[in-house]
Structure 1
Amino acid sequence: MTRRSHAQDAATKAELAPTGTLRVGLVEAPSAGLIFVSRAADGRLDGVTTDLSADLARYVDLLPAVTLFPNLGGAATALQAAAIDVSFMPIDATRRQVIDFGPTYYDLESTYLASAGSGITDVARVDRTGLRVVAIEDTTTFRAATRTLTRTQLIPVPSVAEAVARMRAGQADAFALSRDTLRPVVAQIPVSRIVAGGFQHMQVAVAVPKGRPAALACVTAWLDGAKRTGAVRRIFDARGFRDDAVAP
């Protein structure tokens, strides 16, 4: 392996974190998951991407500064504008045009959480006239639901918290989101269930602003190494996701 010079390391840091601090964009939700984070009782952030961010900050020897967003669309917009330096999000064609993605760490499935009275038991039964489906605006899940639903009313909401509130209030029949994120939501909506099947399969990856090749190479080397050494697996396990596979 070729040893990097101090100048090369300094140049990479300057491109990855121009302000001298690693500005990380994470997305907040009522429950933590493999993408979303939540606040623990002591105020600290809880979630897989919290730990991934901390591991990356240690790898590059920079202090992290976390900005929380209500949805992935907001984080993607901030990344495109270089208002943050790194984030974690599903890859889709729309985002590839404006930001760069490094390695993936998780393969997600988008599906639906259905209310007890909706009669929905699988994905095929969601697309029916009169049903109200909520999804977080400007996300890969929202765009996929828009493409696949032709008879159902799709309602954009700004956050997971808003979607949960509408489901609890009886203002929506189903909530479109990734299966891993929906699992803890079930307990927050009485007699709800996650339906069988999915309507989208996506890869979740580390992302940086476009035009930063050294930064992209740096986060690529970090995440590839973290997967190879088992660090990502340990983070999954510690956060309660022992049954979820790390992307190869």
Structure 2
Amino acid sequence: MKATDDVRRAMAPQGVLRTTINLGNPILAGRDPETTRPHGISVDLATRIAERLGVELELLVFDSAGQAVAAVDAGQADMGFFARDPERGQGIDFTPPYVLIEGCYLVPDASPITDMTEVDRPGNRVVVGKGSAYDLFLSRAIQHAEIQRSSTSPAVVAYFLEHELEVAAGVKQQLEAGIEEYGGMRLLPGRFMTIEQAMGVPKGRDPLAREFLAAFIEEVKSEGVVAELMARHGIEGATVAPQA
């Protein structure tokens, strides 16, 4: 889809493409340890979109998905990178996904829990990152266990250990990093959800904006750009979403 003047106005009505970047998901973005600048797949894709539109890019960087969603909902950003979710869909129009990520459970090594079906039981406390995709999902799915929330997704494992909880839920790679850092924990086999990472624009925005992003996503998937960016940033355990 060509970046016509109409598309440019739909995507960046102020002449600058304001894009949220969520540091809470290490698959998508992080900070360079030397420059502290954000980097990652979402930053690279946002840069390509701005270049195609011929406008300046303004990165609005947040520590959690909930903060990034709120910025788009409030019209403070023109687009963002999010996991698709029905609740978020009330204020955001999503594109098809470009990356699929696994949501998994973590338990102490000594836990009697060996299977995901044993998590949702009375007496179990499950910590999630506040406002994350798996928070929204598990808030609907969990019927018997108690859900607790850490301030951000990267804080889940530390919260889990500090409060001596039964289960932690999150992005597989983030939980694996916690195991490597602290030890004494294990992942339960399988996944409780597949997290569909997509882009989104504020609900009510000119439909050309979503159409442009949706076409862009299909293009970068089919041309191998997403796979190339994942390899460049050393992302393992995630997969490129299939063509819509």
TM-score scaled by length of structure 1 = 0.86
Aligned to 1:27: 22
Q: 1: distance between equivalents of 2:201 and 2:185?
A: 37
Task: State the identity %.
Answer: 27
Q: 1:10 offset after TM fit, Å? A: 2.4
Out of 66-75 and 163-172, give the one that drifted further.
Answer: 163-172
Q: 2: distance between equivalents of 1:149 and 1:247?
A: 27
User: Once the two structures are superposed, what CA deviation does each residue of 1:35-82 show, in whole Å capped at 9, x if it has no partner?
Assistant: 3x2212111323322222222222222222111223222212211221
Q: 2: distance between equivalents of 1:243 and 1:132?
A: 26
Q: Is the 8 A contact 1:145 1:176 kept in 2?
A: no
Q: Is the 8 A contact 1:115 1:167 kept in 2?
A: no
Q: 1:11 offset after TM fit, Å? A: 2.7
Q: Does 1:222 align with 2:216?
A: yes
Say which SS state the counterpart of residue 102 (structure 2) adopts.
Answer: strand
Q: Does 1:38 align with 2:40?
A: no
Q: 1:13 offset after TM fit, Å? A: 1.5
Q: 2: distance between equivalents of 1:181 and 1:51?
A: 21
Q: 2: distance between equivalents of 1:243 and 1:167?
A: 23
Q: 1: distance between equivalents of 2:50 and 2:182?
A: 36
Q: 1: distance between equivalents of 2:154 and 2:99?
A: 23
Q: Does 1:124 align with 2:117?
A: yes
Q: 1:221 offset after TM fit, Å? A: 2.2
Q: 1: distance between equivalents of 2:33 and 2:93?
A: 35
Q: Is the 8 A contact 1:164 1:188 kept in 2?
A: no
Q: Is the 8 A contact 1:145 1:199 kept in 2?
A: no
Count of aligned residue pairs for this structure pair: 240
Matches within 5 A, 1:122-201: 122-201=115-194
Q: 1:206 offset after TM fit, Å? A: 1.1
The verdict on how the C-alpha distance between 1:194 and 1:57 changes in structure 2, with shifts beyond 3 A counting, is farther
The verdict on how the C-alpha distance between 1:163 and 1:65 changes in structure 2, with shifts beyond 3 A counting, is same
Q: Does 1:231 align with 2:225?
A: yes
Q: 1: distance between equivalents of 2:164 and 2:58?
A: 37
User: Once the two structures are superposed, what CA deviation does each residue of 1:105-151 show, in whole Å capped at 9, x if it has no partner?
Assistant: 02233221222333333312222333321112233311322233333
Q: 2: distance between equivalents of 1:162 and 1:74?
A: 15
Say which SS state the counterpart of residue 118 (structure 1) adopts.
Answer: coil
Q: 1: distance between equivalents of 2:237 and 2:154?
A: 25
Q: Is the 8 A contact 2:101 2:238 kept in 1?
A: no
Q: Is the 8 A contact 2:32 2:39 kept in 1?
A: yes
TM-score scaled by length of structure 2 = 0.87
Q: Is the 8 A contact 2:101 2:239 kept in 1?
A: no
Aligned-residue Cα RMSD (Å) equals 2.3
Q: Is the 8 A contact 2:129 2:154 kept in 1?
A: no
The verdict on how the C-alpha distance between 1:231 and 1:127 changes in structure 2, with shifts beyond 3 A counting, is same
Q: 1:170 offset after TM fit, Å? A: 4.3
Say which SS state the counterpart of residue 99 (structure 2) adopts.
Answer: strand
The verdict on how the C-alpha distance between 1:237 and 1:145 changes in structure 2, with shifts beyond 3 A counting, is same
Q: Which runs of 5+ in 2 are unaligned?
A: none
Q: One-letter code of the match for 1:185? A: G
Q: 1:173 offset after TM fit, Å? A: 2.8
Q: One-letter code of the match for 2:12? A: A
